[in-house]
Amino acid sequence: MLLQPDCIGCIYKASLSGIRELTTDDGLTKELISEILRIPGITRPAWDLTSPEVFEPALGLISRSFATPDPFRSMKDRQNEKGMQLLPQLRNLVKESDDPLSTAANLAIIGNSLDLMWSGGSVDVEPLVRKELERRPAPKHFRLLEQRLIESRTVLIFADNCGEIVFDKVFLETVRTVCDPEIYYVVRSVPALNDATLEDARLVGLDALAHPIENGIQGPLPGTVLSRCSQDVRDLTEKADLIISKGGGNFDSLEEATHLHDKMLFMLMSKCVPYCRYFGTEMFDPILSPPKRPV
């Protein structure tokens, strides 16, 4: 999905939130926000780019300003730690379910909203997760996921945020009880906000369930532009029987890869108006869906 008017405000809000995470210095915050607002794609919206591509220069500026390639490392560590604290509860939700794979898939989608759940700082989000499980994606799309998983020899998953990857772990554990495809789990090569890297995937134990692989993109891009990925990842997109795209940044960029639409499924929460319009959902509905067919 190319940049939408709504994206400009989201990029600004995410930039400000990220800077606030790193400093309480109002002077520095004003200086950085002033520079971000001068980025060409934001000052003069670049409607032919995706939101992650417009956001990337802002994240690069933040990294340079704090002299670290991974300025949000402490936030990512907190999210992974909280996710691992939830792991026994998540596994129990799947175990007590009448349809474990459906529940695990829904948990993987719900994990996309953990940043909102944890905004108050509380680790005890199990009641919220149980409530969200009552709002399931379209049954026909889950059955499509189940069928494709069973039929696939190679599955490629584009990962999203830290913390959320623990929910992905529970999903992959459940997939392994149903079928046994070769699974590749693609993470960022360069840290981008709170997105997962190879270090994070190994930290939560995903390497026991899939092959973690870096996307090869040499910049803090919070999404996946295939033309900038490594040859290995591009080859895997052709080899894969099923491609699962997690989260909004990956959706924004991978939705443009129309040649892969026939084997792609999106898993995310409907967090903004453009997503609601694209998928025909209400705000904060869980989404499990193939790409929209051209009219």
Break the chain into its structural domains and give their ranges: 5-65, 87-289
What pTM was estimated for this model as a whole? 0.94
Answer left, alpha or beta for residue 85, where phi above 0 means left and psi between -120 and 50 means alpha. Answer: alpha
Q: Is the pLDDT of residue 156 over 90?
A: yes
Element at 75 (helix H, strand E):
helix 73-95
pLDDT of residue 41: 87
- Tokens 């067919």 sit at which residue? 293
Question: Among the residues of 23-99, which ranges form H helices?
Answer: 26-36, 40-43, 51-65, 73-95
pLDDT of residue 154: 98
CATH number 3.40.50.10880 is the correct assignment for the domain at 87-289 = yes
Question: Collapsing DSSP states into helix, strand and coil, what is residue 94?
Answer: helix
pLDDT in tens, 72-100: 999 999 999 989 999 999 999 999 999 99
- 57: phi then psi, degrees, rounded to nearest 5: -60, -35
Q: Is the pLDDT of residue 274 over 60?
A: yes
pLDDT of residue 205: 97
d(CA 190, CA 69): 8
Identity at 261, one-letter amino acid code:
H
